Structure 1
Amino acid sequence: MRSRHATLPIFAAVSWGVMFPVLASALTRVDALNLTTARYVLATAVLLALLLAREGVTALATQRRGVEVVLLGALGFAGFNTLMNLALGHAAPQQIALFAATVPLVTQFVRWARDGVRPRPALLGISLVALVGVGLVITRGRLDGLGQFGWGGLLMIGAVLGWAFYTHGASRFPEWSALRYTTLTAVAGMLAMIAASAVADLTGLQHAPAAADLVAIAPQLAYAVLVAAVLAVLAWNTGVRRLGPADAALFMNLVPVATFAVQILRGYRPVAVELVGAGLTIAALVAANLVTRTRSAARATAAPEPLAVVDRPAVVDPVAVVGR
């Protein structure tokens, strides 16, 4: 059963790994902000249609949590995707993918900051190893290559932090289905993207794409919308609910693997130190997730507290369970 559920986060991670080279090719015709906006206007329309068909109009209510939904959508969808697309203009797709794969690790630190759940010392050491691996890929093992970190790396640090807060925020909506949380936060993120693109276009920071430009990137846009933004996000959120965050997060390590594979198929030839750095980062991320899983398992097997005696049995609503 768990192996079947694992296909969901595997599909999501591989889809996102392929996405980075796809979006990088689209940026040659459309500016980063406009590309992000076009992608999520279409993706949000699809998500809204799915939500209305499955859960009805009542699912659009934020239940007095509108401010939180807006902030999470702005951080997760608008922040992560906009900064990621901007970073692709300054760094190679395989470098961006390695940064993206650190989301589960960064989420642990976000949890520490917000909930007071302190990571184990081993996790702190592992995070340093992962950072060294990313550094080897970016610099190709040369000290004079540190200048290549530049804007691409800084933008991806902001993107990863935004998605980490978004991922952590999902745990604050346990009563919502994965589809509902994804859709409502996507709507908020889409509105933020539209506003940012409008300001950038009006001030001349970027230029609104012509119809010919959108037609030229139609294949990339179709993949980024239908596969990476709709199917992959829904598969990821569903997989997290079925496997648990710690187990599901392990599959994020497939993101840079998929990106490197695509780049190699396109003719890119990584040097040995890049492969060592990528391997070091992936190994560190796997170790980080195993540390997290071990700690969670230890807590789960600890002696439970005596249950209080109640005068009636607990009742589980099967409709609510199926809907999540």
Structure 2
Amino acid sequence: MNRNNLLTGIIYCLIPVLAWGGMFPVMQVALKTLDPFYFTTIRYIWAGLILLGMLIAFEGKNALRLEGKSWKLFFFGAAGFSGFGFLTFVGQKLSGPSGAINASVIMALMPLLTTCVKWAVHKRKPNLSTFISIFIALSGAMLVITNGDPSLIIQIKEHIGASLLIMLGAICWVIYTMGGSQLVGWSPLRYTALTTCFGSLVNILIVLTATVFGALTMPSAERIGSVWSELLYMILIAGVLAVFTWNVGNKMLKPENGMLFMNIVPVTTVTISALQGVEVGRLQLAGTFIVIIALVVSNLSQRRGKMQVNIQNDHS
């Protein structure tokens, strides 16, 4: 990968994680009014329709063909837009006031989860430098969230059930991200649009079934309208823009590299809090730099490793 492509891939991965950093504070407000199931379903119906329109406009109606990959689209769509959406935001709601903090910290575990999933699926043990980079980045993210106050870590542990739900949601997103490489020759837009539509269908089925059996109550139009600004952000910014650019960036950098950017999510959350008037401590700023340094060191290490492999191949 040349320098220009590398820079482009980094930008494409930065856009979504910055958007998702604001996602959890936005959802913290929205979940007080609307349950996570209906909110997620409404969000992805609109996002799916927009992405579908974009796909037809840019790639034509032929891009709607499933080419015998319907089961893959169903699986990855359900993982990304049902598993992640439902599990993560139910866990955030159950976490109470600390929900946004809880969720953003667990999102920073995605690089480690990606490494573990690849290790389990492909039997490919990661090198030591990758583990060290993930650990350093995660430590920086924790420092940003806690500002050196261990009591905040204890608060997170108190909501272990909710944290497990968010963790399962994070695993679902890792699976979805890795799924993009399974559809060889497909553009990121095609993968994003069709998986979003399949995920939306699964969401609708789950919500309707739960409503019929009394587990969920259909919200009124007035209640939905009261969170219109949150829905708008989640549909356009954290949905269409973020998911599309995320899939583009991960196709360019590969999921094991792209996932490292998830460590920036809690950093973004703290930045938004600062803009809202919350004081940001020196330790939090230090944690921000630690995350950035870990990402740079990891990327340089992986590039050096690939360069050595290429040199060995040239000599052989």
TM bucket by the smaller chain? 0.7 to 0.9
The answer (yes or no) to whether the contact 1:75–1:163 under 8 Å persists in 2 is yes
Partners of 1:149 and 1:130 in 2: CA distance: 23
Question: What is the root-mean-square deviation in Å for CA atoms of aligned residues?
Answer: 3.0
Greater Cα offset, 101-110 or 73-82 = 101-110
The answer (yes or no) to whether the contact 2:77–2:199 under 8 Å persists in 1 is yes
Structure 1 residue 237: Cα displacement: 1.9
Greater Cα offset, 214-223 or 274-283 = 274-283
TM-score (norm: length of structure 1): 0.81
Structure 1 residue 154: Cα displacement: 0.7
The answer (yes or no) to whether the contact 1:106–1:164 under 8 Å persists in 2 is yes
Partners of 1:269 and 1:197 in 2: CA distance: 40
Structure 2 letter corresponding to 1:104: P
The answer (yes or no) to whether the contact 1:70–1:189 under 8 Å persists in 2 is yes
* Rg larger for: 1
Partners of 1:161 and 1:41 in 2: CA distance: 22
Aligned with 1:206: secondary structure? coil
Task: Report what 1:252 is aligned to.
Answer: 262
Q: 5+ residue gaps in structure 1? A: 307-324
Equivalent residue for 1:184, pick from 162, 171, 194 = 194
The answer (yes or no) to whether the contact 2:92–2:166 under 8 Å persists in 1 is no
Partners of 2:259 and 2:282 in 1: CA distance: 27
Aligned residue runs from structure 1 range 250-289, under 5 A: 250-269=260-279
Output one character per residue of 1:227-257: Cα deviation in whole Å (capped at 9) or x when no partner: 1111121122223334454554443332211
Task: Report what 2:42 is aligned to.
Answer: 38
Structure 1 letter corresponding to 2:163: G
Partners of 2:60 and 2:161 in 1: CA distance: 43
Q: How many residues align?
A: 306
Structure 1 residue 46: Cα displacement: 0.4
Structure 1 residue 120: Cα displacement: 1.6
Structure 1 residue 194: Cα displacement: 1.0
The answer (yes or no) to whether the contact 2:141–2:288 under 8 Å persists in 1 is yes
Equivalent residue for 1:230, pick from 240, 243, 249 = 240
Equivalent residue for 2:225, pick from 212, 215, 223 = 215
TM-score (norm: length of structure 2): 0.83
Equivalent residue for 1:19, pick from 6, 14, 23 = 23
The answer (yes or no) to whether the contact 1:246–1:292 under 8 Å persists in 2 is no
Partners of 1:34 and 1:190 in 2: CA distance: 11
Greater Cα offset, 282-291 or 229-238 = 282-291
The answer (yes or no) to whether the contact 1:246–1:289 under 8 Å persists in 2 is no
The answer (yes or no) to whether the contact 1:59–1:180 under 8 Å persists in 2 is yes
Rate the CA distance shift 1:74–1:233 in 2: closer, same or farther, 3 A.
same
Structure 1 residue 55: Cα displacement: 1.8
Structure 1 residue 40: Cα displacement: 0.1
Task: Considering fraction of residues, name the structure with more helix.
Answer: 2
Partners of 1:59 and 1:97 in 2: CA distance: 35
Equivalent residue for 1:157, pick from 167, 180, 198 = 167
Task: Report what 2:150 is aligned to.
Answer: 141
Partners of 1:182 and 1:38 in 2: CA distance: 17
Partners of 2:221 and 2:63 in 1: CA distance: 35
Task: Report what 2:105 is aligned to.
Answer: 98
Structure 1 residue 98: Cα displacement: 2.3
Partners of 2:273 and 2:214 in 1: CA distance: 33
The answer (yes or no) to whether the contact 1:43–1:229 under 8 Å persists in 2 is yes
